[in-house]
Amino acid sequence: MNELEALKAELSSLKNLLLELLPENKIKHYDDIPLLLPDFALWYLENFKKQGISKETYVYYLRIIRNHLNLKKALHEITVLDLQKLLNILPKTRIKEVTYILVKELFSKAYELKMVNENVGAFLKKGKIHKKKIEAFKLKEQIKIFKHSNLLQPLDRVRVYVMLFCGLRPAEMINLDKSNLTKKYIFVYGTKTKNAVRQIPISKKMFELLSSVKEKKFLKCDLKKFRKRVYKYFYQIKVEGTLYMFRHTYATNMHYLGHVQRNIQHYMGHASSILTMDVYTSFDPDISKKSLLNLYTDWYIKAK
């Protein structure tokens, strides 16, 4: 039994209870059988987040539910203090950040469904998170990646371009559908936060490239295998990096190309422009508007 199957088996009893309590996505009675936070979290994951995330992210959320959302109170009895205590004992890493985001989403949905009298998640304080700084690709690395992209499999090249020229998260990219595409925009129905739902302007070249994809599954693929193929490509062209660096590179390049800070924030799906500029935008003395236009010509949209 693999890790995903083991986690599913461990949570199956919660799921069965939840299906009884939540026919047609609505609560009918929960006074006799207390609905606990892990029960509701699993139902929310299965019904609202699963379709827009990768298998790896799905497993990560299952771990969060199993290991950290272990309050023994009924959902409607949980207070802000209970949730804040739960967050405060977590390590100041991505675990705490993801748990914070998930809990806020859970109580927002519970309040929307009238399962709780107050959205207590709205009053939570995340506190400090220690993040390892992810840099954008340097200009010389971007030149190698772009100039040698013909070494990638044709669909992998499209996938890389979607992250580099549209700023999509890897999980958003593989779940993209042709119905999300128009001549001028990509519509992204991200699930990480409410800001992840957004429309991103695209260039004529990007539209033509995406329109040329004939596969029924469009860009959908096994993210782990795709990552391995791209890392093999990085090794070939002597570049060190990760998939997520394409997203940071997009934010950085859009900044140097002269796009308005608020617009970049929206395209990235961020709640704050501070996050966009301080965390996602890197400094590179070699990058300028002229150098980017010389390299990419019309692949990026033009600043107004």
Residue 186 token pair: 């990509």
**Which one is predicted more confidently, 196 or 25?**
196
Q: Which residue in 40, 44, 45 sits closest to 14, CA to CA?
A: 40
List the one residue out of 162, 144, 164 whose CA is nearest residue 233: 144
| pLDDT the model gives residue 133 | 67
Q: Where are the domains of the chain?
A: 3-123, 139-296
Is CATH 3.50.50.60 correct for 139-296? Answer: no
Say yes or no to pLDDT of 293 above 70.
yes
For residue 273, give every residue at least 6 positions away whose Cβ sits within 8 Å of its Cβ, in sequence order, or none.
Answer: 261, 262, 264, 265
Strand 185-189 versus strand 197-201 pairing type: antiparallel
Bridge partners of residue 275, in order along the sequence: none
Q: Determine contact, residues 200/188, Cβ cutoff 8 Å.
A: yes
pLDDT in tens, 56-87: 778 888 888 888 888 888 888 999 999 999 88
> 30 pLDDT band (50/70/90 cuts)?
very low
Identify the band that residue 95 occupies on the pLDDT scale cut at 50, 70 and 90.
confident
DSSP-derived 3-state class of residue 186: strand
What's the sign of the alpha-carbon dihedral 106, 176, 153, 140?
Answer: negative
125: buried, middle or exposed (CB in 10 Å: 19+, 13-18, 0-12)? exposed
* pLDDT in the model for residue 48: 84
Q: Rounded to whole angstroms, how far apart are CA atoms 255 and 267? A: 12
Kindly indicate the confidence band of residue 16, based on its pLDDT and cuts at 50, 70 and 90.
Answer: low
Pick the CATH number of 3-123 from 1.10.150.130, 2.40.50.140, 2.70.150.10, 3.40.50.10310: 1.10.150.130
Burial class (CB in 10 A: 0-12, 13-18, 19+), 304: exposed
Q: Are the C-beta atoms of 68 and 46 separated by less than 8 Å?
A: no
